[in-house]
Amino acid sequence: MSAKIIAAIAVFSCLIVCLGLYLSQAQIDMTKYVVVVDPVKIAGNRTLHEVNGSITLCVPVAVKKDGTVHEVMNNLTVYCPDKTEYHPEVKIVNTRYGRVLKIVTDRYTVVKGYYSHRAPLLAPYDYVKPSTLVEHDDVEEVYIYLNSSGDASYVRLKLRIEGGACTEWGGKLGYIWHGAHYIWAFAGEYKNWIILREGWNCCPYMCMII
């Protein structure tokens, strides 16, 4: 066997190995978790997003199919856009409806989580759902708790859980195929906001496959 053939075989073998390594890590399973709390106070002709006192919310966390809390909940960023030095209380607690994220604040607050890991191309991707989800024949609902000791006129909430299977092309992430991207959000509400009442709220929630 000539040296050229041996070299060509070596190059081909190297390409096969590299391709195998790429395909074994080509898929990126991504999960996002976003909560936005907006306590609204109507003062005359002004609308304020900060109240005297505090509000306490218990919102669903992201869980896996087996019911365990997803890793996205381990990497949360909490901030108040209008006051960087303010630190709301945020922690996971147990309730009669399952594990929830307890948020204590007195102003507009954002909680964000992001988690990703690599997987073989076309492998089943991570699928998460809200922890307090109740599934009926024709509708899905989540339980959310509100207690207000402040003077808010009303409290509105946005809760969005998003995930799917991505690949990276040219430094940008894109979903692999139709149906590889899903979003959990409130059903039938303008821009997915919902207004809460005191106590436990049972809110229509839906998963959209994109």
pLDDT band at 172 (very low <50, low <70, confident <90, very high): low
| Calpha distance 14→19 (Å, rounded) | 9
pLDDT of res. 102: 98
pLDDT digits (tens, 9 = 90+) for 65-74: 899 999 999 9
Model-level pTM?
0.81
Nearest to 157 by CA among 95, 108, 104: 108
pLDDT of res. 181: 81
Residue found under tokens 């997803």: 70
pLDDT of res. 23: 39
What average pLDDT does the structure give for the chain?
81
pLDDT band at 29 (very low <50, low <70, confident <90, very high): confident
pLDDT digits (tens, 9 = 90+) for 106-162: 999 999 999 987 776 656 677 889 999 998 777 799 999 999 988 889 999 999 999
DSSP bridge pairs for 114: 32
**Of residues 4 and 58, more confidently modeled:** 58
pLDDT of res. 182: 86
Nearest to 101 by CA among 74, 65, 136, 134: 74
Radius of gyration of the chain (CA): 23
- Asked if 116 and 175 touch (Cβ cutoff 8 Å), the reply is no
pLDDT of res. 176: 59
- E strand or H helix at 36: strand 27-43
pLDDT of res. 82: 74
Give yes or no for residue 105 having a pLDDT over 60. Answer: yes
Residues 6+ apart with CB under 8 A from 160: 32, 33, 34, 183, 184, 185, 192
